[in-house]
C-alpha cells in the first residue's frame, strides 16, 4: 500500500491519465523507490479496488498499457470516493484551516454512515469543533455518560483547567430501550482519524480501559474507529492485522458502501478546497 495514493495524482493531470513511469517518478519524488515487482503489485491492488468499489471507483485500470484513467466529470458516488481520498491525503493540503475543514466534513460523513448502521439509535457529534454537547469538558462527558446509560463520576478536577478537548470522542450513539430505565443499553463511542500514522494509536482513545474509570458503564460500549484510508491488501483483508485492535473499523470501503446512492454529499457539505481539488490540474512539464 503506497503511503501517498498515486490515483490521486491521476485526478490532477490535464488529461486525467497517469502511467507506470509517472507512478514510479511520483514515489521516487516522495523518497521511495518501486521495483518492477512492486509496481505490478500496485496495479494488482488497483484492480482489486476497481472491482471492490465498482461504479463508485473514479478510475479505470488498463493493465496492458499500465495506465490509470479518470473521466473529466465524475458521477455522484465517484465524487464521494474522491472526497474520502482527499481526506486520506491531508499532508498534500497546504492550508491548516483547509485541513481542519476537511476533517470536520469527514466527521460529518462518518456520522451519516453510523446513522445508516444504527437507524434506531440516537447518534450525535461530540467533537470539539462540531457538537451538540455544551459546557466544560467534564460537564460534556458527564452528559455523554448519562446518555449511554453509564454512571459518570466526573468533576471539575477530572481534567486540567485549560483542557477543553473532546476526550478523543468524536461521535456518540445509543439506543434507548424504554422510557423508564436508561441504563444497560446498547451504545458506541467513535473516533475519526484521517492521519495514516496516528489512527492506529487513536483506537485506544475510545476504549473502556481508558474511559471506564470516569464513565462507569453499566454495559460496555462498542468502540469504533473511522478512517478515510482503504486499509486493504490485494485480497480485500486488512493490510496489516497487527494494526487493528478489538475495534469496529470503518475504512474507506465500508464508509462508501454505507453512504453511496444517498444524499451524503449534500448532507455533509464539503468545503471549497474539495471543489478546488477536483478542478485543479498539474502544469505540463
Sign of CA dihedral 40, 44, 46, 50: positive
Domain ranges of the chain: 7-92+272-279, 96-268
More confident position, 272 or 280: 272
**What does pLDDT average to over the chain?**
89
Question: Of 275, 277, 260, whose CA–CA distance to 109 is shortest?
Answer: 260
The pTM for the full model equals 0.90
pLDDT for residue 116 is more than 50: yes
pLDDT > 70: percent of the chain:
95
Q: What pLDDT digit, counting tens, does each position of 26-71 carry?
A: 777 777 777 888 888 888 899 999 999 999 999 998 877 788 999 8
- What b/e readout covers 270-279, taking b as 16+ CB neighbours within 10 angstroms? bbebbeebbe
CA distance 154 to 205: 17
- What is the signed CA dihedral for 148, 256, 253, 37, rounded to 10 degrees? -150
CATH number of 96-268: 3.40.1350
Amino acid at each position: 500500500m503506497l503511503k501517498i495514493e498515486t490515483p490521486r495524482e491521476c485526478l490532477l493531470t490535464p488529461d486525467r491519465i497517469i502511467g507506470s513511469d509517472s507512478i514510479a517518478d511520483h514515489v521516487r519524488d516522495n523518497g521511495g523507490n518501486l521495483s518492477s515487482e512492486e509496481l505490478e503489485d500496485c496495479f494488482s491492488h488497483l484492480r482489486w479496488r476497481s472491482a471492490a468499489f465498482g461504479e463508485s471507483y473514479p478510475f479505470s485500470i488498463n493493465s496492458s498499457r499500465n495506465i490509470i484513467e479518470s473521466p473529466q466529470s465524475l458521477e455522484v458516488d465517484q465524487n464521494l470516493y474522491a472526497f474520502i481520498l482527499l481526506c486520506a491525503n491531508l499532508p498534500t493540503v497546504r492550508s491548516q484551516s483547509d485541513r481542519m475543514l476537511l476533517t470536520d466534513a469527514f466527521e460529518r460523513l462518518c456520522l451519516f454512515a453510523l446513522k445508516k448502521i444504527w437507524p434506531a439509535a440516537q447518534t450525535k457529534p461530540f467533537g470539539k469543533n462540531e457538537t451538540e454537547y455544551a459546557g466544560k469538558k467534564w460537564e460534556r462527558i458527564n452528559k455523554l455518560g448519562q446518555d449511554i446509560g453509564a454512571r459518570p463520576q466526573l468533576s471539575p478536577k477530572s481534567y486540567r483547567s485549560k483542557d477543553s478537548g473532546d476526550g478523543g470522542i468524536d461521535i456518540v450513539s445509543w439506543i434507548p430501550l424504554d422510557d423508564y430505565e436508561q441504563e444497560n443499553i446498547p451504545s458506541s463511542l467513535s473516533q475519526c482519524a484521517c492521519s495514516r500514522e496516528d489512527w492506529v494509536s487513536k483506537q485506544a482513545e475510545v476504549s473502556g480501559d481508558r474511559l471506564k474509570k470516569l464513565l462507569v458503564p453499566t454495559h460496555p460500549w462498542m468502540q469504533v474507529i473511522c478512517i478515510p484510508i482503504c486499509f486493504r491488501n490485494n485480497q480485500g483483508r486488512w493490510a496489516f492485522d497487527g494494526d487493528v485492535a478489538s475495534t469496529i473499523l470503518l475504512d474507506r470501503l465500508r464508509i462508501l458502501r454505507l453512504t453511496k446512492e444517498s444524499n451524503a454529499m449534500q448532507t455533509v457539505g464539503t468545503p471549497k478546497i474539495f471543489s478546488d481539488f477536483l478542478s485543479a490540474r498539474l502544469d505540463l512539464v
